[in-house]
A and B are shown apart, each in its own frame.
Chain A
């Protein structure tokens, strides 16, 4: 009997939203009808989302890709696979040779799209657990030093040096410490957290376990947004398997140290991506932000020292321990070390996830890699780093993706999401939406955010209606300044960023004369 046909199809939410489950059903049915033996593995996504659902077929140890597949393609595809000479219309050749994939530097997403997310043997066979095993041989303080030396910065948006946080938590005296993973990925244009949790959940578990060993925390929580049910199921299954395998529990891989992990599902509040709001929510309360200090590193969950990190930050940890700080630090530029999974989204031809070292330019990501707007019209603006990120024009596409370079232009890398807009975008409307979103999602604790956002919508409407136009522009400026200076957290403090960048780079949409070319 012939060997089973080895097939790989993503279970990733994007692939599912485009019909992957229907394709999987059709594969089983059509194969049975043809009496063909198939072995179908559901994987994460490789991140080439315009090709999803992307089916891969293993031939001579290599994987041929076919996509984007529809249910109705499946019968014909199986027939052409059985006839070795036939070439299917949706063949993309070897999946790993597609330039979008081939040109990446995948330190974090190395296994995503390749392995079975829930198979621990697969994980270990592809380099998994090497970081944790290296960490177990070290003292906690040395692990913290390694993270500090790597230059790793928080990937959630703020870019704070991770090693400093680790040391602070490690040095705090307490009977209980926590590791909390912020998986409340609410920024539009970002999906890296979701993809890695769905496609390689053990990586996050490994990163959190290492963090636990480093700072002396025995309990961890993953605060996951409720909009990610597929990720929730996969994480829960992965944690159960990790416990059985001794990767989590009272004696992590024979280290003699305990680390327990649990998933907590949020209840639909963008603000809970802010770390103190998240901690309140994890305590079962309203997600109102806390004033800082005290820092969560000293007084976090239930008042105990807590290391709060974004998913991608924690997923960057295993490779640093496995290959050491120097290896990691050599990627990137300046103070932005390592790699970042950039997420190319919105009106884009080749949307998806592209992991590469910091320093890639915005233009490369938007035009070369992303292929520009899906509508074929010129790109007019991009928003970087979610709803609180700046709108930038093509004249700034030469900027490198680097924390400091972006900051110099009043923008930020954020969580690495890039939303592309074509020429039909109205930046006044986008500025209005920034305030509207803040009205919707403000926790209400501080006045500049709660009331300022409402006033912002009103001021924009008056500017649009040409009611005391110039005076209202002054009011807008004043309001933004107040929100920046007076808000308790980034929600109110950064809402002015999309507003003011829209006004600065696209003044014509606000009834002003066009800006001179914004570059330099």
Chain B
């Protein structure tokens, strides 16, 4: 589906630009460079305004992410329950720093600021799977399961 076709239904909706960008990203996995011009045209905005919105929100990505995105909660409740050590262990396990994507494009590691699982900390989101009381092994298992499901 063309980007304009994804975007157009949201013109005129409340907060439509954000919802349209979410839809593009859901379809393409990221926001391809032409998104800015197409969205600007559709919403009667400047490209700078669209770019400003894209760059403001952490959810929007202008580059493809890894096949699997592992998001580790970096906020206080998870810190209190060993989240910093967990992050270090996961970084070591996948030989990646937080915020990086593996060279193969298999996996992206990134921080997230609260998943609302603070009573089951530390928490992570592996693909679309929530992991409470996480440890490095459970995260590795979830990644393996995710890879298997996609294969």
Tell me whether chain B's interface is mostly helix, strand or loop, or mixed.
mixed
What residues of chain A lie closer than 8 Å to B128, measured between beta carbons?
A: 229
Q: Please, how many angstroms separate the alpha-carbon atoms of A18 and B77 in the complex?
A: 17
- Chain A interface: which of B1-9, B90-98, B100-108, B115-123? B115-123
A345 and B113 in contact (CB under 8 A), knowing A264-B15, A267-B60, A286-B56?
A: no
**Per-position binary interface string of chain B over residues 116-142, scored 1 when its CB falls under 8 Å from any chain A CB and 0 otherwise:** 111111010100101111000000000
- Does A137 count as interface, using CB distance less than 8 angstroms? no
Point out the residue from B18, B56, B75, B117 that lies within 8 Å of A14, measured CB to CB. Answer: B117
Contact between chains at A346 and B116 (CB < 8 Å): no
- Does A188 count as interface, using CB distance less than 8 angstroms? yes
- Does A128 count as interface, using CB distance less than 8 angstroms? no
- Chain B interface: which of A108-116, A159-167, A413-421, A479-487? A413-421
- Does A293 count as interface, using CB distance less than 8 angstroms? no
- Does B27 count as interface, using CB distance less than 8 angstroms? no
- Does B65 count as interface, using CB distance less than 8 angstroms? no
Q: Please, how many angstroms separate the alpha-carbon atoms of A352 and B77 in the complex?
A: 12
Contact between chains at A191 and B117 (CB < 8 Å): yes
Chain A, range 367-387, C-beta contacts under 8 Å to B: 374, 383, 386-387
Contact between chains at A421 and B80 (CB < 8 Å): yes
Contact between chains at A345 and B130 (CB < 8 Å): no
Closest Cβ neighbor of B49 among chain A residues: A285
Most buried by A among B15, B59, B133: B15
Contact between chains at B76 and A189 (CB < 8 Å): yes
- Does A101 count as interface, using CB distance less than 8 angstroms? no
Point out the residue from B59, B78, B130 that lies within 8 Å of A267, measured CB to CB. Answer: B59
Point out the residue from A266, A270, A285 that lies within 8 Å of B113, measured CB to CB. Answer: A270
- Does B143 count as interface, using CB distance less than 8 angstroms? no
Would you give the shortest CB distance from B115 to chain A, in whole angstroms? 6
Q: Please, how many angstroms separate the alpha-carbon atoms of A189 and B120 in the complex?
A: 10
- Does B29 count as interface, using CB distance less than 8 angstroms? no
A226 and B59 in contact (CB under 8 A), knowing A18-B132, A265-B19?
A: yes
**Per-position binary interface string of chain B over residues 42-60, scored 1 when its CB falls under 8 Å from any chain A CB and 0 otherwise:** 0100000000110011111
Q: How many A-B residue pairs have CB under 8 A?
A: 156
A188 and B120 in contact (CB under 8 A), knowing A284-B17, A286-B56, A440-B113?
A: no
Point out the residue from A221, A286, A433 that lies within 8 Å of B52, measured CB to CB. Answer: A286
Contact between chains at B120 and A49 (CB < 8 Å): yes
Residues of A in contact (CB 8 Å), total 62
A281 and B121 in contact (CB under 8 A), knowing A185-B116, A188-B114?
A: no
What residues of chain B lie closer than 8 Å to A353, measured between beta carbons?
A: 119
Residues of B in contact (CB 8 Å), total 42
**Per-position binary interface string of chain A over residues 9-20, scored 1 when its CB falls under 8 Å from any chain B CB and 0 otherwise:** 000011011100
Q: Please, how many angstroms separate the alpha-carbon atoms of A374 and B121 in the complex?
A: 11
- Does A23 count as interface, using CB distance less than 8 angstroms? no
- Does A425 count as interface, using CB distance less than 8 angstroms? yes
Contact between chains at B77 and A17 (CB < 8 Å): no
What residues of chain A lie closer than 8 Å to B117, measured between beta carbons?
A: 13-14, 17, 191
Point out the residue from A265, A286, A383 that lies within 8 Å of B76, measured CB to CB. Answer: A383
Q: Please, how many angstroms separate the alpha-carbon atoms of A425 and B77 in the complex?
A: 12
Closest Cβ neighbor of B124 among chain A residues: A17
What residues of chain A lie closer than 8 Å to B43, measured between beta carbons?
A: 284
- Does A282 count as interface, using CB distance less than 8 angstroms? yes
Q: Please, how many angstroms separate the alpha-carbon atoms of A283 and B59 in the complex?
A: 17
- Does B21 count as interface, using CB distance less than 8 angstroms? yes
What residues of chain A lie closer than 8 Å to B14, measured between beta carbons?
A: 221, 262, 264, 282-284
Chain A, range 191-205, C-beta contacts under 8 Å to B: 191, 194
Contact between chains at A268 and B58 (CB < 8 Å): yes
Residues of B within 8 A of A (CB): 14-19, 21-22, 43, 52-53, 56-60, 73, 75-82, 112-121, 123, 125, 128, 130-133
Residues of A within 8 A of B (CB): 13-14, 16-18, 49-50, 52, 185-191, 194, 221, 226-229, 262, 264-270, 281-288, 343-348, 351-353, 374, 383, 386-387, 417, 419-422, 425, 430, 433, 437, 440-441, 443
Nearest 7 A-B pairs (CB), nearest first?
A351-B119, A17-B132, A346-B80, A188-B75, A345-B118, A267-B57, A268-B58
What are 7 A-B contacts defined by CB distance under 8 Å? A227-B112, A227-B125, A269-B56, A345-B80, A351-B119, A421-B80, A437-B113
Contacts A269-B57, A284-B53, A433-B79 aside, 10 further interface pairs with beta carbons under 8 A come to A49-B120, A187-B114, A221-B14, A264-B19, A270-B113, A287-B57, A346-B81, A347-B121, A348-B119, A383-B76
